[in-house]
């Protein structure tokens, strides 16, 4: 070996691809792209938003530095990825959240999703989103509180889902309630910068947006409604995810066709979670699930290698058999094993459910009885054949022909006093229009129509928001009120018996409860008293 050739440490055959971008350069471009939305967020939400951003970035950098120091690895702070992780996470947080939230979230994202898997280039999901998922699970109430300077915490999407009008202009500019990085205008400006500098390519932003719109049209029940679609695109974190998170070079597919598939998957999952789900966040889990599918997506569209003619064959005649790669299954072995484990576990759970069905039914019956006793205290709860017959006629079609939304009367029982006389009635009613689906409750009503109170048997609304409807202080608004029907007061400060103050930030939940109570009152007047 000559002296000249022995000086090279790495030798590989041509062809070579050259790209002027470095890891530090890519991260710098991302930071520059995030500058507009960061500055606007601080201007709009105030000084505390700046403190959240600083705390998040500092925590990310300190966590990575300490890990490198303890693990005796080279200092990787200078590649800029920790700064990007901290900044992205901060832009996804409420502006007034306590500073321990960004500190813990950034530490988790860097340490668990990045460092523990070998550092930059080895993480299987976006670290910023991993940190946000951790915070959503651990601090649900804080993560869904978007109040600032006494401004209502109701987000535009929550208002839209409640049937209220929203200001598309304010949503696009960013003059609305939400997380710090809410300005779509600034996000688009930053996204254009990333495209112009070749930091990202067009496939994922375009494919995800088109897919999101198509599946919203298909699943929202609104059809092609430009106003609704524009509000969905401008609300939440979809745009920030499409330009800055789903395009993460480490966790996205390698080929352009794979990125199209990845983008479509992100758009589809976002639409499903927006229209059918109940989580306060859709972007985080949509991208994380797509990240988990990246290895499988990379196996699907196989690019044509350099130096070959037809895909998978050599340009040199007669050596196709020598160069032909061994065929591999499109589905990884690990995926098959995981599927088998899932099927076995699912079958086991089904068997357990069958064996415990009677016990579950008895527990549900005891829960219903406890709710009846709560709203009809000191009374003997008994069934009534006439009331049962009245209830059964609404079992399939629902109650009230839609006047109370999708409401069902489940059961009606009588509360008797010590003399055996009917002293009250308890009506079990369900609204299927809660933010998280079904809300079931018992409504106690005296013979003169006075509501004695309500008691929930099923309520799984968002922690810190819709679940506040189960607080005694909120339920007390119905107690000892004799009205024909209640009215939801979203502005608060009710002064009359029929007005019910909405739970702040949970008008959907509040409206569903009020509708259910009104359905119970209507049933009482038309089928109990009249019957």
pLDDT digits (tens, 9 = 90+) for 206-256: 999 999 999 999 888 888 889 889 988 998 889 999 999 989 888 888 888
Q: Using only C-alpha atoms, what is the Rg of the chain?
A: 29
Give the closest residue to 145 by CA, choosing from 520, 527, 515, 503: 503
So what's the pLDDT on residue 402?
77
Domain membership flag for residue 17: no
pLDDT above 60: residue 17: no
Tell me whether residue 2 is in a domain. no
Where does a domain end: 281, 299, 317?
299
pLDDT tens string 36-62: 999 999 999 989 999 999 999 999 999
Q: Is residue 324 part of a domain?
A: no
Q: What is the pLDDT of residue 309?
A: 53
The Cα 117–Cα 470 span in angstroms is 42
Q: What mean pLDDT do residues 260-282 have?
A: 84
Place of tokens 């299927």: 432
Whether residue 343 lies inside any domain: the answer is no
What is the distance, to the nearest Å, from the Cα of residue 442 to the centroid of all Cα atoms in its chain?
29
Task: Say if residue 219 is in the same domain as residue 112.
Answer: yes
Q: Would you say 429 and 450 are in contact if contact means Cβ atoms under 8 Å apart? A: no
Does residue 446 carry a pLDDT above 60?
yes
β-partners of residue 160 are: none
Counts of helices then strands in the chain (DSSP H, E): 21, 7
User: Which uninterrupted H or E stretch holds 218?
Assistant: helix 203-219
Per-residue confidence (pLDDT) for residue 486, from 0 to 100: 94
In a domain, 232, yes or no: yes
Q: In this structure, what CATH number is given to the domain that contains residue 234?
A: 1.10.3430
Question: Does the pLDDT of residue 73 top 50, yes or no?
Answer: yes
Is residue 279 over pLDDT 70? no
Contact criterion met (CB below 8 Å) for 180 and 139 = no
Beta-carbon neighbour count of residue 111 at 10 Å?
Answer: 18
Q: Count how many domains the chain has.
A: 2
Q: What is the pLDDT of residue 301?
A: 65
Mean pLDDT within 90-113: 92
In percent, how much of the chain has pLDDT > 90?
38
294 and 375, same domain (yes or no): no
Do 387 and 292 belong together in one domain? no
CA-CA distance, 14 to 227, in Å (whole number)? Answer: 53
User: Could you give the CA distance from residue 356 to residue 361 in angstroms, rounded to a whole number?
Assistant: 9
Is the same domain home to 278 and 375? Answer: no
**424 and 501 share a domain?**
yes
196 in the same domain as 81: yes
What is residue 6's predicted lDDT score, i.e. its pLDDT?
46
pLDDT at 30: 92
DSSP 3-state assignment of 470?
Answer: helix
The pLDDT, as a whole number, for residue 92 is 92
At 432 the three-state DSSP class reads: strand
Task: Specify if 432 maps to a domain.
Answer: yes
Range of 456's domain? Answer: 359-529
The full DSSP string for 78-140 is GGSHHHHHHHHHHHTSBTT--THHHHHHHHHHHHHHTGGGTSTTT-SS-HHHHHHHHHHHH-H
DSSP 144-191: T---BTTB----HHHHHHTT----HHHHHHT-SSSBSS--HHHHHHHH
Sign of CA dihedral 157, 163, 167, 172: positive
Per-residue pLDDT band for 5 (boundaries 50, 70, 90) equals: very low
Domain-located, residue 118: yes
| Residue 87 near residue 56, CB atoms below 8 Å | yes
Give the whole-angstrom CA distance, residue 198 versus residue 192: 10
pLDDT greater than 60 at residue 416: yes
Contact 140, 461 (CB under 8 A): no
Average pLDDT over the chain, rounded to whole? 83
Note whether 284 and 390 are same-domain residues. no
Q: In 3-state terms, what secondary structure has residue 220?
A: coil
- Alpha-carbon distances of 244 from 34, 84, 95, 181, 346, rounded to whole Å: 9, 10, 19, 11, 36
58-62, 208-212, 290-294, 484-488: which has the minimum mean pLDDT?
290-294
- How many whole angstroms separate alpha carbon 201 and alpha carbon 210? 16
One domain, residues 274 and 395: no
Angle at the Cα of 255 from the Cα atoms of 250 and 260, rounded to 5 degrees: 95
Answer yes or no: are the C-beta atoms of 90 and 56 closer than 8 Å.
yes
Question: pLDDT-based confidence at 322, cuts 50/70/90?
Answer: very low
pLDDT at residue 7 above 50? Answer: no
Q: Which of 299, 315, 337 delimits the end of a domain?
A: 299
Peptide bond into 401 cis (omega under 30): no
- Residue 398's pLDDT is what? 77
Mark whether 366 and 288 lie in a shared domain.
no
Residue 77 has what pLDDT?
84
Domain shared by 293 and 434, yes or no: no
Distance from chain centroid for Cα 183: 19
Among candidate residues 256, 273, 299, the one where a domain is terminated: 299
33: Cβ contacts below 8 Å, ≥ 6 apart: 190, 191, 193, 194, 199, 243, 244
* 109 and 255 both lie in a single domain: yes
**Backbone phi, psi, residue 428, to 5°:** -85, 125
Decide if 433 is inside a domain: yes
For 118-124, what is the mean pLDDT?
A: 77
- Both 51 and 161 in one domain: the answer is yes
């Amino acid at each position: 070996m000559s002296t000249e050739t022995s000086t090279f440490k790495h030798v590989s055959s041509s062809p070579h691809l050259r790209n002027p971008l470095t890891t530090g350069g890519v991260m710098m471009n991302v930071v520059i792209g995030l500058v507009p939305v960061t500055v606007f967020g601080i201007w709009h939400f105030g000084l505390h938003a700046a403190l959240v951003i600083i705390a998040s970035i500092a925590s990310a950098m300190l966590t990575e530095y300490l890990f490198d120091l303890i693990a005796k690895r080279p200092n990787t702070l200078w590649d800029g990825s920790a700064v990007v992780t901290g900044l992205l996470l901060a832009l996804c947080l409420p502006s007034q959240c306590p500073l321990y939230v960004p500190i813990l979230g950034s530490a988790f994202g860097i340490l668990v999703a990045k460092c523990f898997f070998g550092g930059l280039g080895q993480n299987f999901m976006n670290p910023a989103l991993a940190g946000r998922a951790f915070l959503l699970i651990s601090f649900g109430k804080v993560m869904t509180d978007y109040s600032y300077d006494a401004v209502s915490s109701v987000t535009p999407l929550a208002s839209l889902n409640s049937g209220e009008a929203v200001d598309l202009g304010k949503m696009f500019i960013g003059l609305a309630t939400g997380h710090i990085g809410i300005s779509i205008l600034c996000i688009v400006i930053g996204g254009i910068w990333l495209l112009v500098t070749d930091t990202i390519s067009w496939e994922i932003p375009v494919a995800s947006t088109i897919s999101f719109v198509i599946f919203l049209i298909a699943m929202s029940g609104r059809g092609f409604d430009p106003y609704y679609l524009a509000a969905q695109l401008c609300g939440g974190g979809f745009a920030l995810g499409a330009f800055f998170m789903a395009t993460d070079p480490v966790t996205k597919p390698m080929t352009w066709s794979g990125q199209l598939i990845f983008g479509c998957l992100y758009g589809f999952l976002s639409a499903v979670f927006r229209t059918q789900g109940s989580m306060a966040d859709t972007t985080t889990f949509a991208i994380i699930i797509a990240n988990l599918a990246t290895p499988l997506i990379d196996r699907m569209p196989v690019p044509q290698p350099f130096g070959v003619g037809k895909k998978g064959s050599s340009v040199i005649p007669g050596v196709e058999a020598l160069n032909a790669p061994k065929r591999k299954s499109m589905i990884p072995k690990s995926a098959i094993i995981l599927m088998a484990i899932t099927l076995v576990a699912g079958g086991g759970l089904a068997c357990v459910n069958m064996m415990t069905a009677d016990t579950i039914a008895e527990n549900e019956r005891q829960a219903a009885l406890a709710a009846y006793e709560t709203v009809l205290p000191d009374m003997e709860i008994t069934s009534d054949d006439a009331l049962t017959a009245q209830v059964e006629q609404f079992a399939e079609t629902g109650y009230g022909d839609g006047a109370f939304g999708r409401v069902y009367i489940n059961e009606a029982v009588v509360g008797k006093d010590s003399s055996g006389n009917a002293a009250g009635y308890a009506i079990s009613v369900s609204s299927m229009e809660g933010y998280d689906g079904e809300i079931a409750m018992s409504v106690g009503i005296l013979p003169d129509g006075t509501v004695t109170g309500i008691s929930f048997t099923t309520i799984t609304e968002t922690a810190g928001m819709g679940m506040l409807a189960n607080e005694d202080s909120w339920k007390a608004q119905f107690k000892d009120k004799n009205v024909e029907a209640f009215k939801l007061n979203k502005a608060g400060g009710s002064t009359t018996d029929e007005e019910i103050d909405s739970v702040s930030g949970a008008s959907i939940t509040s409206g569903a409860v009020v509708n259910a109570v009104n359905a119970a009152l209507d049933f009482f007047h038309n089928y109990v008293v009249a019957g």
